[in-house]
Structure 1
Amino acid sequence: MNTSASLASDFSPATGAGTLPMTDTPTMPAMSAIAAAPIWAFFFKSLCGKFGLRSHIDGSAPPRPDDHQWDAAECYVQGWIFGSFNDFVLDLAMDSADPTTRDLWVAIEGIFHANREPRTIFLLDDFHSMVHGDSTISAYYQQLKTKVATLRNVGHLIEDS
Structure 2
Amino acid sequence: MCYGHISGKSKPSSEDDEEWYSIDARIKSWFYSTCDPGLLQIISSDDCTSKDLWDKLEEFFRNNKMSKMLQLQDQFCNTKKGANSITEFCHTLKNLADHLKDVDSQINEIELVMQILRQLPMPTAFQQ
- Give the TM-score normalised by structure 2: 0.71
Give distance in 2, aligned partners of 1:88 and 1:139: 30
Quote the offset at 1:101 in angstroms.
0.7
SS in 2 for 1:126: helix
Partner amino acid for 2:5?
A: H
Q: In structure 1, which of residues 45, 68, 74 is the aligned counterpart of residue 24 of structure 2?
A: 74
2:58 to 109, 112, 115: 109
Mind listing any 5+ residue stretches in structure 1 that lack a counterpart? Answer: 1-51
Letter in 1 for 2:81: H
Partner amino acid, structure 2, of 1:89:
L
Instruction: String of CA shifts for 1:9-43, please: whole Å, max 9, x gaps.
Output: xxxxxxxxxxxxxxxxxxxxxxxxxxxxxxxxxxx
Residue 56 of structure 1 aligns with an amino acid whose one-letter code is H
Q: Distance in 2 between matches of 1:81 and 1:65?
A: 23
- Could you say which structure has the larger radius of gyration? 2
Deviation at 1:86, TM superposition (A): 4.4
Alignment partner of 1:89 is 2:32: no
CA-based RMSD of the aligned residues comes to: 2.0
Cα distance in 1 for partners of 2:41, 2:85 equals 43
> Structure 1 pair 132/88, CA: closer, same or farther in 2 (3 Å)?
closer
Among all aligned residue pairs of Structure 1 and Structure 2, give the percentage whose two residues are the same amino acid. 23
> 1:53, 1:115 → 2: CA distance?
27
2:18 maps to amino acid: H
CA distance in 2, matches of 1:91, 1:134: 39
**Which residue in 1 is equivalent to 2:6?**
57
Between the two proteins, the alignment pairs up a number of residues equal to 108
Tell me the residue number matched to 1:147.
Answer: 96
Q: What's 1:127 paired with?
A: 76
Shift of 1:84: 2.8
Task: Please give the secondary structure, in 2, of the residue aligned with 1:135.
Answer: coil
Distance of aligned partners of 1:65 and 1:92 in 2 relative to their CA distance in 1, 3 Å threshold? farther
- Partner in structure 2 of residue 45 of structure 1: none
